[in-house]
Amino acid sequence: MRDWGVDPKLLCKKHLCGSHVELHMALGCLIKNKNISGFTNGLIDFNRLYTRHAEIVHEMESRGYKHNTPLETIPNINIDCAPINTDHNLIELCIRCRDCCERIKKNKK
């Protein structure tokens, strides 16, 4: 699981929708009491699941994508997580994905 943590406007369709899926997977792990320790090292901010989901959904809908999967509510998520390094992730996205890189470069102008 991974959430890039960057502004959703900078993500291509594949990475935007992928982040959406990852957030649902992360919540599923919490609901099922699965071990998430491998993902608290800056890959997912479990404390921002709902806020991040709302940001991703807003961007999806602004692009005309349909969204029919609200997150199930878990009260009081409080998990010790390392911060997501968004500066590093912007560089990584440019290396991995031409479409994201174009969106990132366009936004810097």
pLDDT band (50, 70, 90) for residue 74: confident
pLDDT band (50, 70, 90) for residue 109: low
| pLDDT tens digit sequence for 1-17 | 899 999 999 999 999 99
Residue ranges of domains in the chain = 8-108
| pLDDT tens digit sequence for 23-62 | 999 999 999 999 999 999 999 999 999 999 999 999 999 9
Residues whose CB is less than 8 angstroms from the CB of residue 36 and which lie 6 or more positions away in sequence, other chains included: 26, 29, 30, 44, 46, 79
